[in-house]
Structure 1
Amino acid sequence: MQVTFVVTIIVGAPIVAVLSAGVQLPTWEARVSFAVRVGAIVWLCTAVAVFAYARRSN
């Protein structure tokens, strides 16, 4: 779980920043909503990858 959290932060923050460059986000609510939506996808992909790696390693 800790690996998933750390990898999600390290990988997810730059992805959210890059993707937000091309999107109009005029309010803080829009910014938060965008970060949560993109972050959820990044977290899901990271969790599945970490699970698959752990399952293969054991």
Structure 2
Amino acid sequence: MPKRVGTTDPEGVDYGWVMQTTFVLTIVVGAPAVALLSLLVELGSWSARANFAIRVGAVVWLCIGIPVYAYARSHSETST
């Protein structure tokens, strides 16, 4: 059995959890949002489609990431 390299005991916000949760929720919410919103916009080329997906995805990422961080922060303060 190899020796254990190290452990972590994060104080405050667990940023790994925040990043993973934001990533998963952004895909789950963002993919349908981009698909639905793309029906309303004329996207003539692949570059226009990619640009649209990046712009909508960035807004979705911010709208999900900020509340996830706020939840983690409030949860970490109540558990200490």
- TM-score, normalised by the number of residues in structure 2: 0.70
- Name the aligned partner's letter for residue 29 of structure 2: V
Q: Structure 1: where are the runs of 5+ without partners?
A: none
Corresponding pairs, count: 58
Higher relative helix content:
1
1:7-46 to 2 correspondences below 5 Å: 7-46=25-64
CA-atom RMSD in angstroms: 0.6
State the match for 1:2 in structure 2. 20
Runs of at least 4 residues off by over 4 Å = none
Structure 2: how far apart are the matches of 1:52 and 1:14? 24
Larger Cα-atom Rg: 2
TM-superposed deviation, 1:5: 0.4
Identity of matched residues, %: 60
- TM-score, normalised by the number of residues in structure 1: 0.96
Q: Structure 2: where are the runs of 5+ without partners?
A: 1-18
Helix, strand or coil for the counterpart of 1:4? helix
